[in-house]
Amino acid sequence: MHRSLRVLLVLLLLAPAGTMAGQSAPAGAASRLRVPVTVDTLPNGLTLIVHEDHSVPNVTTNVWYHVGSGDERPGRTGFAHLFEHLMFMGSENAPYPQFDRLLEAAGASNNGSTTEDRTNYFEAGPSNSLPLMLWLEADRMGWMLPTMDSVKVDLQRDVVKNERRQGVENQPYGIATDILPPALYPKDHPYSWPVIGSMTDLSAAALEDVKDFFRQYYAPNNATIVVAGAVQTDSVRRLVRQYFGNIPRGPAITRPAPASFTVRDTSIVAEDRVQLPRLYLAWHTVKANHRDDAPLSILSYLLTGARNSRLTNALVYQGEVASGVSAFSDTKRLDGDYSIVATARPGVGLDSLKGMIDRELERLSREGPTARELEQAKNATESSFLNALEFVSAKADQLNEYYYFQGTPDYFQRELDELRAVSAEDIRRVVHTYLRGPRVMLSIVPQGRRELAATRRVVQ
C-alpha cells in the first residue's frame, strides 16, 4: 500500500494529452486514479475508512457526523454549529481544556466546521499522535454529556455570536447571508436560514436542546471516521475498535423531508454601509449526486473561473462595468442553488451588470461554449482537483464526503470522469434549464442609493 496513491496518480497524469484536453478517458487501467482505502463498520454502526499515505510522517483524522443546519427546526437555527463549538468544551475523561492542550502538546492541530448537511471534526499532526486523536474523538463521541452544563453553553453562545458579528454584521455586504436563504427557500424549509443562525435563535438555545441533540445525532451509527496518512491499517482498526467499540448505538434518525415548492421570481433591494452596489442572482438547481452536478461545476469555470471566462471577460475586461464577478454551484443533500455575484465599478448601476449577465447566459444557452473553452475549463478544473490531493487532510475530508454523498469513499476517478464527460450540449442545457427561469435578484446598494438597484425591466 506504500505510496500506492501516488504511483497510480503518476499513471493518470502521464496519460495522453487528449485525455486532458477533454476527450473521455481511455478505459485502460493504466489511467485510473485510485485512493486505496479499507472500509469497516463496527457493531455499533461506526464506519471507519483508512487510507495509507506515507509521503510525510503525518496523520489526519476526520470525523463526519451526518447532521447540519438542514436538520434544525425553526426557532433553533444555528444550533448544529453552536453544538460543534460545544464539542470542544470537554468530555468525561478529557475535561476542558484538555482537548486542545493535549493535542497541542502532541504537535497536532484541530478544528471543525458545519454546513447544511454535516458537521466535521479533524485533527492533523505527527503520526505518533494518532492514538491520542482517536482517544479524544472517542471520548467526546461517547462521554461528552456528563460534563456539559449551561455555563459552557452560555460561553460558546457568546463566541458564536461574535463569529456571526465578524462574518455577517461587521462585514460589508454581510446582510446577504441573512437575505438569500429565505428568499430561495420557503419558510420552514431547513435551507431557508443560514448555517450560522439568527441572534434570536442562538439566544434561545438551552442546555436541554444540547442534550437532546447529542442523543439524537452524535452516535456512532450517524458518524464516519477517516484516518489518512503514515499509518498501518491494521493498527488503526485495532485502536478504533478499542476506543470506539463500547459507545452504544443511537436511535434511528428521521430527517426532515421538505415538501416540494414552486420557485418564483423575487427582487430584493437592501441598503448597506458600502461604497459600491453589488448584485446577487440565485437560482435553484439540483441535489448533490445529480447528473447535472458536474456540468454545473464546469459552468462556474466557464462563467468566472478565468479572465477569459464569459462573465469576467464581459463585465470586468470588455465592459469594465464590474470590479469583480463570481459564479458558484452549491449542490446539497436536499436541494441545490447557483449564484452569480457581481460588484459594480464606481458610477455604474446594477441594471447594466444584470443586462450583461443575462445576455451572456442567453448566448451560452443558445450556442454553448466553444470546444476550446470547454477544454480549458476541464483542464483547469481537473488540475485544481489533483493539486488538492497533495494534502492528506484534503484527501481525508474528500473520502468522507464521497462516502456520504456517493456511497463509496474512493470516488475520485469517477468524479474526474464525470467532469471530463461534460459536453457543450450539457452546458447549453443546464444554462437553459436552471439559469433562465425564476430567480432571486438581490441588490445591495449604498445607503440612500436605491436608484442603483437592478430592476425587473429587461435591458437590451
Residues 190-219 that bind other proteins (CB under 8 A): 194-196
128-147 footprint of other proteins as x/- string (CB under 8 A): xx-xx--x--xx--xx----
The least distance separating other proteins from the CB of residue 213, rounded to whole angstroms, comes to 16
CA distance 8 to 36: 10
434, 300 Cβ separation under 8 angstroms: no
Residues 92-131 that bind other proteins (CB under 8 A): 92-95, 97-98, 100-116, 124-129, 131
Here the cell at position 244 is: 470506539
Phi/psi-derived region of residue 105, left when phi > 0, alpha when psi is between -120 and 50, beta in every other case: alpha
Our finding on whether 316 is near other proteins (CB under 8 A) is yes
Q: Which is nearer to other proteins, 177 or 455 (CB)?
A: 177
Burial class (CB in 10 A: 0-12, 13-18, 19+), 83: buried
Choice from 192, 313, 406, 455 touching other proteins (CB under 8 A): 313
Our finding on whether 77 is near other proteins (CB under 8 A) is no
Q: Which is nearer to other proteins, 98 or 413 (CB)?
A: 98
CA distance 433 to 436: 7
Strand partners, 301: none
Stretch that binds other proteins, among 32-40, 173-181, 353-361, 395-403 (CB under 8 A): 173-181
Choice from 204, 269, 274, 334 touching other proteins (CB under 8 A): 274
Q: Which is nearer to other proteins, 331 or 365 (CB)?
A: 331
Burial class (CB in 10 A: 0-12, 13-18, 19+), 399: buried
Here the cell at position 151 is: 455555563
- The CA-atom distances, in angstroms, between 3 and each of 10, 97, 242, 302 are 11, 37, 27, 35
Here the cell at position 235 is: 493498527
Comparing C-alpha atoms, which of 246, 257, 369, 214 is closest to residue 303? 369
Strand partners, 222: none
Q: Which is nearer to other proteins, 187 or 273 (CB)?
A: 273
Q: Which is nearer to other proteins, 154 or 212 (CB)?
A: 154
Cβ neighbours, 10 Å, residue 215 = 12
Residues 372-401 that bind other proteins (CB under 8 A): 372, 375-376, 379-380, 382-384, 386-387, 389-392
Residues 24-63 that bind other proteins (CB under 8 A): 55-58
The least distance separating other proteins from the CB of residue 295, rounded to whole angstroms, comes to 18
The least distance separating other proteins from the CB of residue 457, rounded to whole angstroms, comes to 26
Comparing C-alpha atoms, which of 81, 94, 95, 218 is closest to residue 156? 81
The least distance separating other proteins from the CB of residue 265, rounded to whole angstroms, comes to 18
Greatest CA span in the chain, whole angstroms?
A: 68
Rg of the chain, C-alpha, whole Å: 24
Residues 431-460 that bind other proteins (CB under 8 A): none
Comparing C-alpha atoms, which of 199, 196, 357 is closest to residue 278? 357
Per DSSP, the chain holds a count of helices (H) and strands (E) of 17, 13
The least distance separating other proteins from the CB of residue 253, rounded to whole angstroms, comes to 21
The least distance separating other proteins from the CB of residue 460, rounded to whole angstroms, comes to 26
232-261 footprint of other proteins as x/- string (CB under 8 A): ----------xx--x---------------
Give the residue carrying C-alpha cell 482537483: 385
Q: Which is nearer to other proteins, 280 or 403 (CB)?
A: 280
Site size for other proteins, by CB under 8 A? 113
Choice from 2, 24, 159, 437 touching other proteins (CB under 8 A): 159
What's CA 335's distance to the chain center, in Å? 13
The least distance separating other proteins from the CB of residue 114, rounded to whole angstroms, comes to 5
Our finding on whether 306 is near other proteins (CB under 8 A) is yes
Q: Which is nearer to other proteins, 39 or 268 (CB)?
A: 268
The least distance separating other proteins from the CB of residue 413, rounded to whole angstroms, comes to 15
Choice from 24, 41, 170, 289 touching other proteins (CB under 8 A): 170
